[in-house]
Amino acid sequence: MPQDELTEVSRAQKPAARTSRKVPRIVVLGGGSVGLYSARRIRKRLGGREAAIVVVDPRPYMTYQPFLPEAAAGSIDGRHVVAPLRRAVKGVDVLQGMVTSIDHAGRRVTIQPESGDAYTIRYDHLVVGLGAVSRTLPIPGLAETAIGFKTVEEAIAVRNQVLNRIDVASSTWDPELRRRMLTFVFVGGGFAGVEAIGEVESMARAAVTYYPELDASDLRFVLVEGSPRILPEVSAELGGYTLDQLRKRDMEIYLSTFLSSCVDGHIVLSNGQEFDADTVVWTAGVKANPVLKESDLPLDALGRVTTNAFLQVVDAEGVVVPDAWAAGDCAAVPDLVTGGTCPPNAQHAIRQANRLGENLAKSLRSAEPTEYKHKNVGAVASLGMYMGVAQMFGRLKVRGWFAWVLHRTYHVMAMPTWNRKIRIMAGWTGALFLRREVISLGSIHDPRASFRAASQPAPAKAEPAKAEPAKAEPADAAAEPAANDDES
Ligand SMILES: Cc1cc2nc3c(=O)[nH]c(=O)nc-3n(C[C@H](O)[C@H](O)[C@H](O)COP(=O)(O)OP(=O)(O)OC[C@H]3O[C@@H](n4cnc5c(N)ncnc54)[C@H](O)[C@@H]3O)c2cc1C
């Protein structure tokens, strides 16, 4: 049922959420780092009689993306890297749906819910925190073969795929097929790609110890990076150290190399290498959310909403667009410390969100806003269990176990809600005594498969041949390697 006014939607869902249109309505687009932290800060500063806040996101939770590599490795439970919006931000309405267009001149956004017709809601003030999406290229086979690494669903799918391939390969006699199953390709050598391959390889190495048929040397992990170095977020020295560490673990790393094709899992690299792989993970960069093109907000050449240092949306001449605010990966926010615009990372997104919340609250009280100015505290990356690199305050370079501890400490403190912090730390503590969990739940991606099979009408029974008594052959059946592929 199309709906034109949010109050109608809210009334049906939750009587307490009724809001009079005399109260200014702030609509926050995206419930990620920017959405959660800005909504929380605005609610902290403004009471229910001063502002109604609505957060719109297709997912009912915020994902803390820096923990996705650890979720893929099973060091953190997938549910614990997300913060449920309704619990984490009290006193706001959460609308589950995709924003499909923004008409700021008319102060309205259109939302497509998962089921049912699209509807529009009106607002007085807009906060844009729509983040970024994977930046892909028109590479043959990429869309059909590869998986991204931006959401918790993708991270868990990568984990299940890798463990499932190990399971199935251990029961495969064909050496070509086994090699293909145990070859894992990661494209992109930035933070996301390096942390993802480091964590997943470390998990796969731990997993094969449970398979007498397999050896760690059967695993082939390949990282493909288009530029001449990895980890551009840290110094060349730390990037070089990371490269050495990954190569010491027998990972193949190809620099200044591009993925040319991956049709049906046949990998072709620009350096002439060709091989087969069942798993391709794409982490080669992000771009601003494309839905911003369906808006009348000013965008820069990279498709990001342009803002001033107060996080107010501004046009190309720097003139403030009234009642519009933006931050995070989807925004071009001036970096008052180093010049240019702030890089897309969680460190900036969370701090910008808090500043934006303060400024929006101030503007509603006719107070002066404050500029966003943040000196980068550094970068920390995990390369798998007990290994990491960190560059703090520009100059301090840390590597190995201590950097890994810094990575965990920094990110668990940045993870929203004490509930999640405690659950994550409890999981890490448990793993110290109980060892890493390496079970694959491959069939979780098709949970109805067994039920479908059970619902098939039984095939008509063939007449038993008179001379041969019907006899089950359990030993032979158990020896059939592909018999339970679907269940692994
Ligand atoms: C694997 C990985 C590792 C990372 N590691 C680090 C790290 O170590 N350190 C660091 O600082 N940064 C790291 N980052 C980057 C960091 O996570 C992002 O910069 C940060 O999350 C950006 O916050 P945001 O709010 O702008 O976007 P997001 O947190 O991505 O939030 C955007 C939200 O918008 C929602 N959305 C999207 N489209 C729509 C739509 N049409 N309608 C409504 N809602 C929509 C999404 O569902 C999402 O909830 C990492 C990122 C990844 C992927």
Taking the CA atoms of the chain, what radius of gyration do you get in angstroms?
25
pLDDT at residue 246 tops 70: yes
- The pLDDT assigned to 450 comes to 81
Distance 366 CA to ligand 1 centre (A): 31
With contact defined as beta carbons under 8 Å apart, do 384 and 376 qualify?
Answer: no
CA 198 to chain CA mean position, Å: 16
What phi, psi does 459 have (nearest 5°)?
Answer: -65, 150
Distance 382 CA to ligand 1 centre (A): 18
Among 40, 57, 333, 409, which is best to mutate for testing ligand 1, by the most ligand atoms less than 8 A from CB?
A: 57
Instruction: Give the residue from 129, 143, 70, 136 showing the smallest Cα distance to 285.
Output: 136
Give CA angle at 326 (324, 330), nearest 5°.
135
Helix (H/G/I), strand (E/B), else coil: 391: strand
Average pLDDT of the chain, as a whole number: 88
* CB proximity list for 86: less than 8 A, separation 6 or greater: 60, 94
| DSSP 8-state secondary structure symbol assigned to residue 191 | H
Ligand 1 site, CB within 6 A: 29-35, 56-59, 65-66, 68-69, 98-99, 129-131, 149-150, 191-192, 289, 291, 328-330, 344-347, 349
- Rounded Cα–Cα distance for residues 66 and 345 (Å): 9
Confidence of residue 22 (pLDDT cuts 50, 70, 90): confident
Q: What pLDDT, in 10s, does the model give residues 359-408?
A: 999 999 999 999 999 887 788 889 988 899 988 877 788 999 999 999 99
Distance 65 CA to ligand 1 centre (A): 6
Average pLDDT over residues 453-458: 82
- Rounded Cα–Cα distance for residues 312 and 357 (Å): 11
- Rounded Cα–Cα distance for residues 336 and 428 (Å): 38
Q: What pLDDT, in 10s, does the model give residues 287-317?
A: 999 999 999 999 999 999 999 999 999 999 9
- Rounded Cα–Cα distance for residues 355 and 373 (Å): 9
Confidence of residue 464 (pLDDT cuts 50, 70, 90): low
Residue nearest to atom 31 of ligand 1 (CA): 32
Average pLDDT over residues 46-53: 94
pLDDT at residue 1 tops 90: no
Confidence of residue 165 (pLDDT cuts 50, 70, 90): very high
Distance 91 CA to ligand 1 centre (A): 23
- Rounded Cα–Cα distance for residues 212 and 61 (Å): 40
In this structure, the chain runs to a length of 488
pTM (two decimals): 0.87
Distance 132 CA to ligand 1 centre (A): 6
The four Cα atoms 475, 479, 483, 484 give a dihedral, to 10 degrees, of 100
Distance 171 CA to ligand 1 centre (A): 39
- The pLDDT assigned to 321 comes to 97
Distance 16 CA to ligand 1 centre (A): 30
- Rounded Cα–Cα distance for residues 41 and 359 (Å): 10
392 or 488, greater pLDDT: 392
Instruction: Give the residue from 162, 248, 150, 243 showing the smallest Cα distance to 200.
Output: 162
What six digits make up the tokens of 462? 């063939």
Element housing 159 (H / E): helix 152-170
| DSSP 8-state secondary structure symbol assigned to residue 233 | T
Alpha carbon distances (Å) from 429 to 80, 279, 373, 422: 14, 31, 37, 10
* CB proximity list for 396: less than 8 A, separation 6 or greater: 378, 390
Q: Is the dihedral of CA 328, 332, 333, 338 positive or negative?
A: positive
Which atom of ligand 1 is nearest the CA belonging to 407? 8
Among 85, 150, 191, which is best to mutate for testing ligand 1, by the most ligand atoms less than 8 A from CB?
A: 191
